[in-house]
Amino acid sequence: MRTITFNELRKIKDSLPSGSMHRIADELGLHVDTVRNFFGGHNFKEGKSVGIHLEPGPDGGLVMLDDTTVLDRALKILDELNMNMHNKQATESMQI
C-alpha cells in the first residue's frame, strides 16, 4: 500500500502526455475509464473501482493505493518523457 496526497496524484495525471490514459489501459489490459478512475475519475458504468481509498486532509486529502501498478506505469511514462527531453537537450548542446 502507498499513500500520497490527492493533489500529488492529480499533478502526476496532469503531467502525463496526451494519450497516456489509453496507453496505460492498453498495456495493463484495463478499460480506459478504470485508469481514469484511478486518477480521481468517477465513471463506474464503464470503468471499475481501482482500490483507492480517500481520507480528508490537506492537499486534497490522502489517497491510499492498494495496488500501485497504474501509478508505477504513469511514473514510468514521465521518466521516459524526461529522459527524451534530456537526450534532446544533450544533442542540441552538442550541435552548438
Q: How far apart are CA 4 and CA 9, in angstroms?
A: 7
User: pLDDT for 61-72, tens place per residue?
Assistant: 999 999 999 999
pTM above 0.95, yes or no: no
User: pLDDT for 17-64, tens place per residue?
Assistant: 999 999 999 999 999 999 998 888 776 666 566 678 889 998 889 999
CA distances from 85 to 13, 55, 96 (A): 18, 36, 17
Domain definitions of the chain by residue range: 2-95
What pLDDT is attached to residue 71?
96
Integer Rg of the chain from CA = 16
